[in-house]
Structure 1
């Protein structure tokens, strides 16, 4: 039925790049799209299946999504069990090359819940992993479009320097936080790579958004952990219900430090329209929350 609906819809659609000879790249979500745009520059058109603010884990592709991707030359996806819907999506598209941008990353295992032992998929939040993403995007673009390989290589070098320029000062700021205060408490366990690279211990309400979220047992466990460790601040993600984290803050006397960004960029006029903004705003809020005196 999905293929029939796709075929019927395509008859009514004109490919977005009908008059554009550039490589067309489709990504599964906005973070990868922005990274790919920075590596591609003007040499390729890059679009995202999911829109700004979308929750990626349980996304359900629409016939319109399939139409938008039907004339792609390359599809980039995260892998590591992030896009649980992707295999069927790609199968419906047919024979379009796809690249997994997390290839080569040493994953951090999820430690509990239904996905215990599987890879934590949010590897783009780690500083070292981000560089691997950029290299994988560069290589995928170059394979699909060898005539512009030198452009992609040059852009990748410049982009990695910009990522480092955002993260290095924030890492230095967090290095000044006393070890007993270096806790990152969030709703989803989406910041394991960031916590590892920034020397933070991690506590979260639920391990991944595809699992049970915000249960009384999860909230009670984190309340106890915040009290036992005298943790001053808790956070949540921008794409989920923040009420459980706010409850933890109320019942422990910790501050609610604000929303962190991980799975999705914002609209252009929002707080994190780019991946660099996402890294900067998230890390700055963590650093501010841990270093605040009141």
Structure 2
């Protein structure tokens, strides 16, 4: 009893000692996040009551990630596993089966607005939006057998809409409350506080887009990751690759894109932090567009970069887009 009391007394003082994380880990929820953006949401909801391990870290590409043996052990010992769903994590089913985890695997896109995958339909028809209230994700999962990088009917990059990010946060709070009812009030309060920051971010993005002339709102990126941003905010994105970075663009795809760029009078072109820049550099050279910088699509930057959190990522992206188009 005295040893327990002693540990409790010093926990708030000697936080730098190795013993403290291990004590906290015994009490905290053990959370596995599939990639960095989800991990950031989870940190904002869980605060100091959760310990988070991220499978695909900053600047990592979840489309092509190959799990390590240690990942199976990590998932196997988790209390909650948070994933995007909509087949974004091509490795997920194999990893969950290998881990034999008993933890709930929570798909954070459930209940959200899901856009159709334009990979086989041409790029971004503005009428492609369809409500995907839970069932859409299930439909997408059924298409998984058609290929490792095939994303079925749905575009998985739902976090590119701040409105959807609010849903991710709600679903995370629900999952944490189900796993740790005693701390539910804290999770709900954290989610509400973070939700207010997301609402402010939404207004910032809309205000920035409003300053860009409508005839200059077409830009080029590496892969088709910004359908939700386009649908929500009115910036048109063209890309040589589909919704997965595994699907390489053919010579005819690139030629067709260059033709479309000239027809649509694209205003700017960007590389992405998760893709090889060579193809974008080629397109920039052939169209005379100057590369406007780097956008963050499927992963955050490291902590020293310009997109270390979701809020910073979205602000960086719209600031870079606006600056490249307006020349500021």
Q: Same fold (TM over 0.5)?
A: yes
Counterparts of 1:215-230 in structure 2, within 5 Å, are 215-230=250-265
* Cα distance change on mapping 1:60 and 1:196 into 2, 3 Å: same
1:101 and 2:108 equivalent?
yes
Task: Give the equivalent residue in structure 2 for 1:235.
Answer: 270
Segment of structure 1 superposing worse, 71-80 or 203-212: 203-212
- The answer to whether the 8 A contact 2:274-2:298 is kept is yes
Task: Give the equivalent residue in structure 2 for 1:39.
Answer: 45
User: What is the SS of the residue equivalent to 2:32?
Assistant: strand
Coordinate RMSD, CA, aligned: 1.9
Q: Per-residue CA shift, 1:15-59, capped at 9, x if unaligned? A: 977853111110111110111000001111111112222110121
1:172 and 2:207 equivalent?
yes
Give distance in 1, aligned partners of 2:313 and 2:179.
Answer: 28
1:24 and 2:33 equivalent?
no
Gaps of 5+ in 1: 1-14
State the aligned residue count.
Answer: 279
- The answer to whether the 8 A contact 1:16-1:68 is kept is no
Give distance in 2, aligned partners of 1:230 and 1:184.
Answer: 9
Gaps of 5+ in 2: 1-20, 121-148
Counterparts of 1:35-184 in structure 2, within 5 Å, are 35-94=41-100, 95-113=102-120, 115=150, 118-184=153-219
Moved over 4 A (4+): 15-19, 114-117
TM-score (norm 1): 0.89
Name which of 271, 274, 280 aligns with 2:306.
271
Task: Give the equivalent residue in structure 1 for 2:235.
Answer: 200
User: What is the SS of the residue equivalent to 1:236?
Assistant: strand
Give distance in 1, aligned partners of 2:287 and 2:23.
Answer: 54
TM-score (norm 2): 0.80
User: What is the SS of the residue equivalent to 2:274?
Assistant: coil
- The answer to whether the 8 A contact 1:233-1:249 is kept is no
Q: Per-residue CA shift, 1:71-91, capped at 9, x if unaligned? A: 211100000110111012111
Q: Rg: which structure is higher?
A: 2
Give distance in 2, aligned partners of 1:17 and 1:282.
Answer: 39
* Cα distance change on mapping 1:16 and 1:109 into 2, 3 Å: farther
CA positional deviation for 1:115: 4.2
Give distance in 2, aligned partners of 1:150 and 1:138.
Answer: 10
Give distance in 2, aligned partners of 1:146 and 1:83.
Answer: 29
Give distance in 1, aligned partners of 2:152 and 2:323.
Answer: 32
